[in-house]
Amino acid sequence: MSLSDITCETAPEPKAARTSRVGLIVPSSNTTMETELPELFRRQSEATGQRYTFHSARAGLKQVNREELLAMVGKAGDCARAVSDADVDVIAYACLVAVMAQGPGAHTGSEEVIASAARENGHPAEVTSSAGALVRTLQEMGARKIAMVAPYMLPLTQMVREYIEGAGIEVLDAISLEVDDNLAVGALDPHKLPEIARDLKREGADAIILSACVQMPSLPAVQVVEDEMGLPVITAATATTYEILKALGHTPSITGAGGLLAGAYTTAAAGRG
């Protein structure tokens, strides 16, 4: 067989009925977002029959420090163009601190860059970011005071705190696990999070952010902590999932991951899927 006999695909295959394509832009060392989100959407599929596929673009990041985070931001447009080649329905920029390192409210600009790149590439898509999803979800839930757990070194945790407070939400307490290697963050044991969360000063809190990082595993602990503490519990991953579902017009119907994804705070009707 010669090369002339080979037919190459020049465009993505048409989507099957009741199937949504989700594009992710993730740090190159991320090992969690592409495991927790598919599991969450598997549960959504079980409840609704809607199918979801995932398509990722990766931007270089090894150490979670300000310099590498800002360098990653400059790659967002290229990543958006690459992942939009798959004709995805929605793109999620899944690096919370890379956006927050740019200063309060930076998610708006980052999401516009990604949307513009996908549109100019001929495959427009809805866009969210983990940073934007976290603050918008808290606002939608009516949370004015929160406590949070983050894996970062203290200066980055403080930066996240200031970003959230810049959105009008008071951070009563923040526990910093002080891990700077991104692979090490992904290896943290989520089953230790309930014990860690018990140390949070949460009197007066409206919600808990159990993982203010898409790389820190947390899914097995979300429902446990919510049930134990009697407060809404979200993570960067669950907030991003919530906004992806909203962008697709799908009602959250996910069990075992907190009230947010079970539909407790849904304000918009769904079903365009």
Q: What is the pLDDT of residues 158-209, one digit of tens each?
A: 999 999 999 999 999 999 999 988 889 999 999 999 999 999 999 999 999 9
Q: Is the pLDDT of residue 246 over 80?
A: yes
Nearest to 89 by CA among 56, 57, 117, 124: 124
Question: If you average pLDDT over every residue of the chain, what do you get?
Answer: 88
Give residue 195's pLDDT.
98
Q: Which residues contact 271 (CB under 8 A, 6 or more apart)?
A: 249, 250, 251
> Among 65, 81, 166, which residue's Cα sits nearest to residue 120?
81
The per-residue pLDDT for range 105-118, each reduced to its tens digit, is 889 988 999 999 99
Task: Dump strand ranges (E) for 48-143.
Answer: 51-59, 90-93, 126-129
Q: pLDDT at position 171, please?
A: 98
Region 25-31 average pLDDT: 84
Which amino acid, residue 153? M
The answer to whether residue 68 scores a pLDDT higher than 70 is no
- Asked if residues 55 and 22 have their Cβ atoms less than 8 Å apart, the reply is yes
Number of Cβ within 10 Å of residue 73's Cβ equals 19
The whole-number pLDDT of residue 65 equals 53
Q: Pairing state of beta strands 170-176 and 145-150?
A: parallel
Q: Kindly state the average pLDDT of the residues 68-95.
A: 83
Three-state DSSP state, 186: helix
CATH class of 133-235: alpha beta
- Which pLDDT belongs to residue 181? 85
Residue 249 pLDDT > 90: yes
Cβ-contact 211, 197 below 8 angstroms: no
Residues ≥6 apart with Cβ < 8 Å to 99:
73, 93, 106, 107, 110, 129, 130, 131, 132
What's the average model confidence in pLDDT over 23-46?
92
Structure-model confidence comparison of residues 152 and 13, the more confident one: 152
Domain with CATH 3.40.50.12500 in the chain: 20-131+238-262, 133-235
Residue 170, strand partner residues = 145
- Residue where the block lists tokens 């918008």: 136
Note the CATH architecture for domain 20-131+238-262.
3-Layer(aba) Sandwich (3.40)
Q: Report pLDDT for 53.
A: 97
The reported pLDDT for the residue numbered 6 is 46
Q: Tens digits of per-residue pLDDT, 218-242?
A: 999 999 999 999 999 999 999 999 9
Token pair listed for 149: 């757990």
Q: What pLDDT is attached to residue 270?
A: 39
| Known binding-site residue numbers | 30, 95-97, 152, 182, 214-215
- Who has greater pLDDT, 77 or 177? 177
Q: What is residue 11's predicted lDDT score, i.e. its pLDDT?
A: 54
**Residues with catalytic roles:** 95, 213
Classify residue 153 as left (phi > 0), alpha (psi -120 to 50) or beta: beta
Q: State mean pLDDT over 244-270.
A: 87
- Rg of the chain over Cα atoms, rounded to whole angstroms, equals 18
Of 23-32, 94-103, 199-208, the least confident: 94-103
Annotated binding site for substrate: 30, 95-97, 152, 182, 214-215
**Residue 136 and residue 265 in contact, taking contact as beta carbons nearer than 8 Å:** no
Closest Cα partner for 163 from 208, 214, 101?
101
Residues 96 and 64: beta-carbon distance below 8 Å: no
Partner residues linked to 234 by β-bridges:
209
